[in-house]
Amino acid sequence: MSVTKDEVRHIAHLARLRVSEDRLDTLASELNGILDWIEQLDEVDVEGVEAMTTAVESSLPMREDKVTAAGDRDAVLKNAPKSEEGFFVVPKAVE
């Protein structure tokens, strides 16, 4: 498998990363270098092996179904790039 310049452009769009045209070739060659190196995993026999999901056996705990942290609106909004009247201000999302 080899990643083309067009694919890098597509992946970058999927990842919502603006990448300038002149960096696409370099990125494609870096990604291909890494992907080629990763290919050695094909040597490993994983027939019948379960994918690892946890390092130490433990069950997911349940918690009581109640609100524990209803954030302080002002503390949260103080980090907003833009806010007005207690709301986040974001670019128009629906045409």
Partner 1 sequence: MSKLIEFTLTEALEGLEKGEFTARELTQTHLDAIGAAAPLNAFITDTSERALSMADASDERRKKGEAGLIEGAPIAVKDLFCTVGARTAAASNILGEFDPPYESTITANLWKEGGVMIGKVNMDEFAMGSSNEHSRYGPVVSPWRRDGKNDKLVPGGSSGGSAAAVSADLCLGAPGTDTGGSIRQPAAFTGIVGVKPTYGLCSRFGVVAFASSLDHPGPLAKTVEDSAILLRSMAGHDKNDSTSLDVEIPDYAAAVGRSVKGLKVGVPAEYQVDGMPDEIRDLWNQGVEWLKEAGAECVDVSLPHTKYALPAYYIVAPAEASSNLARYDGMRYGARVEKDGLVPTYEATRGEGFGAEVQRRVLIGTYVLSAGYYDAYYLKAQKVRQRILQDFRDTFENVDVLLTPATPSAAFGFGERDADPIQMYLNDIFTVTANLAGVPAISVPAGLDNQGLPLGLQLIAPALGEETMFAAAGALEKAANFSAKPKRWWESA
Grouping H, G, I as helix, E, B as strand and the rest as coil, residue 11 is: helix
Which token pair is 20? 């300038």
Residues 31, 8 contacting (CB under 8 angstroms): yes
The verdict on 63 binding partner 1 (CB under 8 A) reads yes
Residues 19-38 within binding reach of partner 1 (CB under 8 A): 19, 27, 30-31, 33-35, 37-38
Identify any residues that bridge with 83 across adjacent strands, giving them in sequence order: 88
71 lies in the site for partner 1, by CB under 8 A: yes
Beta strands of the chain (E only): which ranges?
83-84, 87-88
Q: Round to whole Å and give the CA distance between 12 and 31.
A: 12
Please select the residue that binds partner 1; options are 21, 22, 55, 86, rule is CB under 8 A: 55
- CB of 93 vs partner 1, minimal distance in Å: 5
Positions touching partner 1 (CB under 8 A) are: 3, 7-8, 11-19, 27, 30-31, 33-35, 37-41, 43-44, 46, 49-56, 58, 60-61, 63, 69, 71-72, 75-76, 78-82, 88, 90-93
